[in-house]
Amino acid sequence: MMGSFRRPRPRFMSSPVLTDLARFHASSVGQQLSNTSVWNSVQTAVIKVFQGGGLQANELYTLNESIRWLLKTELGSFITEYFQNQLLTKGLSHILEKIRLYEGDSQLLILSEMWVRFFTGILPTLQAIFYPVQGQELTVRQMALLGFRDLVLLKLSLEDLLPIATVPPGITQMLLILQVSLLLHQSL
């Protein structure tokens, strides 16, 4: 006859034991660190785009997946707000600083160049990165255009430059697009 063999009592999720508490806490802290790491990679990519850098091969796919992942976490509800209030502000401040290095007609020309770069490169990239963020009050495009108007254009003294300078085509395009964007925003 064999000796007595006692089977351990099975543990169920509804009845954790104290030894499981540390493992549970570590996993939630680990999850928070993972979410923070994912969000930091998104922020870094966005700022790099504003500074003139491009995305690496497959980086857009990775960023989209990161945004999708974050939307399912506790950070999901803050992505749009953080994009609008932090990332856009920081990126557009970088653009404004570059424009303010110039004066007179040169400032108007650099504003035109920065607008074209923003409109043809930065804006589409931001829309692509934040593509998974949809159904919000404002779209990423609207937030970015309104941000450019408020954080760049309205911070410059264009009223002194426009009457005396030959207006570059990029400035005309910028003013028309921002006017239409504002009208569309107000009609919503």
- Where do the structural domains in the chain lie, given as residue ranges? 24-187
Give yes or no for residue 138 having a pLDDT over 70.
Answer: yes
Q: How far apart are CA 112 and CA 173, in angstroms?
A: 9
Question: Rounded mean pLDDT of 125-146?
Answer: 89
User: Which has the minimum average pLDDT: 24-28, 40-44, 52-56, 86-90?
Assistant: 24-28
| pTM for the full predicted model | 0.75
At 160 the pLDDT is: 72
Statement: residue 155 has pLDDT above 50: yes
Res 120: pLDDT: 96
CATH code for 24-187? 1.20.1310
Higher local confidence (pLDDT), 171 or 18? 171
pLDDT on residue 113: 96
Mean pLDDT score, 156-160? 80
- 15 or 103: which carries more pLDDT confidence? 103
Q: What would the mean pLDDT of 18-34 be, rounded to a whole number?
A: 46
Predicted local distance difference test score (pLDDT) of residue 46: 95
